[in-house]
Amino acid sequence: MSVIDELLHANEAYAAAFTKGSLPLPPGRKVAIVACMDARLDPARALGLEEGDAHVIRNAGGRVVEALRSIAISQTLLGTEAVVIVHHTDCGMLTFTDEVIRRRLRQTLSADADHVSFLPFSDLDASVRDDIAIYRSSPLVRKDIPVRGFIYDVRTGRLREVDASRA
């Protein structure tokens, strides 16, 4: 059985016991979370969330610049009133540069990705501060709500807040 078939099988069991079909569209906790797509980070479990509690926006590195469109929709149309940014230890984004991935894409797919910024970083705390600064400088998002950034430790499951005063 392929992994996709396994997922579909698991969905059958999930759907058979599903009881949350009447949840409202806006998130109940009125929070949007921007987090890395890393499989070792489960934002809902790490933050004690259930279906319907939050908008969880995920991408490589948990980068805010890629999430601004979703955050704007979340705030403007669905009423979120707080933003949490979560990066994590041992992140793959710490392991390459734009040039490394561009070269690999040229070699493996004959693809020209010179126009793409893959947004890698070399300093975890600085990446969170940078994302808070990007959020604060965007005209698309609210400035009157709390925005806080954290680093999730993949070995302990704990969050550590990043001092955003330097952002």
Sequence ranges of the binding site: 36, 38, 88, 91
Site of tokens 């469109």:
69
The pair phi, psi for residue 63, each rounded to 5°, is -80, 130
Count how many Cα atoms sit within 13 Å of the Cα of residue 118 in the half-sphere of its side chain. Answer: 19
Q: What is the DSSP letter of 58?
A: E
Q: Write down the H helix ranges in the chain.
A: 3-16, 43-47, 64-78, 98-109, 124-137
Q: Which residues are annotated as a binding site for Zn(2+)?
A: 36, 38, 88, 91
Which residues lie closer than 8 Å to 119 by C-beta, 6 or more apart?
60, 61, 63, 65, 66, 93
> DSSP for 106-142?
HHHH----TT------S-HHHHHHHHHHHHHH-TTS-
CB 87 within 8 A of CB 151: yes
